[in-house]
Amino acid sequence: MKQIEKIATAENFSAINVGKLNELGNYVLELSPEIKIPGKVFGGSAVGATGGEFSFQVFQPGTETGFLHTHKNHEELYFFLQGKGEFQVDGQVFPVNEGSVVRVAPAGKRSVRNNGNEPLVMLCVQYRGATFTAEDAADGELLNAPVKW
């Protein structure tokens, strides 16, 4: 089973590498001895994320999540990086492909499937919903310091 590689870490950052997108199938997320999800890896704890979680997942042609799920508090953003498939929220099914982004509110009943001929690769970012404010949107500060490589 593939493992996340730690690249660098210091007081204000950490960096990891999950590998090439075509290697995601080497990961297996074990939720319990009976439930194992091939091709999925969570990375939030590996980078020490404190405000959200993220995962990469690959669906081989003809595969799907196999279940619907919701969240109590977390909204999710799904970024499709490769391939094509279908996404379902609350019974509505629509196509997704490379470049598609889907936001799902916590209560949305969601699932995804690959109905294409190549792997469907996605990045999912989850975070507590309904918390981002106008003040948060202006949180960044440009520094008056040169960038040195």
pLDDT in tens, 58-74: 999 999 998 999 999 99
The model's pLDDT over 17-49, given as tens digits with 9 standing for 90+, comes to 999 999 999 999 998 898 889 999 999 999 999
pLDDT for the residue 28: 94
pLDDT higher than 80, residue 1: no
SS3 102: strand
pLDDT for the residue 3: 92
Half-sphere exposure of 16 (CA within 13 A, CB side): 16
pLDDT for the residue 113: 98
* CA dist., res. 139 & res. 127, Å (int): 17
pLDDT over 70, % of the chain: 100
* Interval 70-87 mean pLDDT: 97
* CA dist., res. 96 & res. 110, Å (int): 13
The model's pLDDT over 101-136, given as tens digits with 9 standing for 90+, comes to 999 999 999 999 999 999 999 999 999 999 999 999
